[in-house]
């Protein structure tokens, strides 16, 4: 079953996606700041994780904006590749950092 959505409805949904994405980026930034102020062992790693999440979200919002403005096809393949590497590199770096910090806390308890 194919559902046909009108082009104007698609544009509206794309705009809502951008707004929701920016809201999520904002939440990640605010919570990162709050975690950074907490003086527990994992707090800084969680702050770093949330900043990374905000960065990934921001790049995703940029993709959504270019789609909404019909500019995605004008992005060079190199720019798109760099944006994707930023997403995957940030996600990997923050995950590895959090894992290392959890292992450090675990080893300190032993």
| Each residue's pLDDT expressed in tens, for the chain with a length of 110 residues | 677 889 899 999 999 999 999 999 999 999 999 999 998 889 999 999 999 999 999 999 999 999 999 999 999 999 999 999 999 999 999 999 999 999 999 898 87
What is the rounded (10 degree) CA torsion for 50, 52, 53, 58? 130
Ramachandran category for residue 6: left, alpha or beta (phi over 0 → left; psi -120 to 50 → alpha) = beta
Rg (CA), the chain: 18
Q: What is the pLDDT of residue 109?
A: 82
3-state secondary structure of 87: helix
* Spatial distance between the Cα atoms of 74 and 43, rounded to a whole number of angstroms: 41
Q: Where are the domains of the chain?
A: 9-109
**What burial class does residue 93 get, using C-beta atoms within 10 Å of its C-beta: 0-12 exposed, 13-18 middle, 19+ buried?**
middle
Instruction: Check if the beta carbon of residue 16 is closer than 8 Å to that of residue 5.
Output: no
């Amino acid at each position: 079953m194919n559902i046909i959505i009108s082009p104007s409805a698609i544009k509206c949904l794309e705009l809502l996606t951008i707004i929701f994405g920016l809201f999520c980026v904002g939440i990640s930034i605010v919570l990162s700041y709050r975690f950074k102020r907490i003086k527990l062992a994992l707090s800084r790693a969680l702050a770093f994780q949330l900043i990374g999440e905000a960065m990934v979200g921001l790049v995703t919002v940029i993709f959504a904006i270019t789609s909404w403005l019909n500019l995605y096809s004008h992005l060079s393949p190199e720019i798109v590749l760099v944006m994707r590497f930023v997403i995957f590199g940030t996600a990997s770096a923050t995950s590895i950092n959090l894992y290392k910090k959890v292992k450090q806390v675990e080893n300190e308890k032993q």
